[in-house]
Amino acid sequence: MIGSPVAQSLSPVIHNAIFESLNVDWLYVAFNVQSARVEDALTSMTALGIGGLSVTMPHKNAVAEIVNQCGEVDQVVRVTNSANTIVLRSDNSLWATNTDGEGCCNALEEAMKSSIRGERVVVLGAGGTASAVAYAMVQRGASDVAVINRTLQRAQDLVNRVAGTARVVASDEIANTISDARIIVNTTPVGFGVEQGSLVSSIDISLIKSSHVVLDAVYKPLITGLLLASQNAGAIVVDGLSMLVHQAALQQQHWIGQMGDTALMRECALAHLART
């Protein structure tokens, strides 16, 4: 994995658990890579024969652009300009995709026990993760994908790329949009590193109702302020760890040809968190 910072990441724990369980001779390690060295890291991937890379903040956009120039990217990366997964192919070329959106959708559908198709969705944020989530929601047939972001132009840029049922929400439309939605996904870092129990959220938590399904991509703390408020309102909540393991399972499919056990990954991650 490349990113900055990476010390807090659970990705090595969950991926190595799967490689061990499947008797795959792979080892997953985290490299703290500064923005100026991203291209060097990708060159090293080829030189050293590193089979796959995860990409985390703040490099998803840069990696998408670099691999698009020197290798090949899929439709998700072309639309979102955000990559979180790189594969070193047999001909030594690089291929990139983004599993954040599909991982988010799989985590939600597991919790809902139903399809996203036809649902009204709110996406909070307009960064790389938000782009991937919004695109996946549109592809899965969500009837409305409403993007809320402090900077309207960034939200508009995202919507222009994703198209379909995606749209920008103006500040005076936020309350009604959230009220009408079934699914709310927070992709912003608000809540990251905040102690459990703190009611910190990127939206007015009083808008959350029992009819909502709320996912927060932040997984530290596991129960963010948004999720705590949602629990208190009686909503279905999906923590960031669920999204993490589902997107990781898709990465494993690309790297080694089979998806790992999301339940095992979650179990190992929770055990690690309990020890630290």
Q: Which residues are catalytic?
A: 60
Q: Which helix (H) or strand (E) holds 147?
A: strand 144-148
Looking from the CA of 66 toward its CB, the CA atoms found within 13 Å total 21
Give the whole-angstrom CA distance, residue 224 versus residue 198.
Answer: 7
Give the whole-angstrom CA distance, residue 64 versus residue 178.
Answer: 31
Are the C-beta atoms of residues 207 and 236 closer than 8 Å to each other?
no
Give the whole-angstrom CA distance, residue 185 versus residue 19.
Answer: 30
Please give the DSSP secondary-structure letter assigned to residue 205.
G
Q: What are phi and psi of 110, to 5 degrees?
A: -60, -45
Are the C-beta atoms of residues 14 and 38 closer than 8 Å to each other?
no
Tokens 């080694």 found at: 256
Give the whole-angstrom CA distance, residue 72 versus residue 59.
Answer: 17
Give the whole-angstrom CA distance, residue 182 versus residue 144.
Answer: 10
Give the whole-angstrom CA distance, residue 207 versus residue 124.
Answer: 14
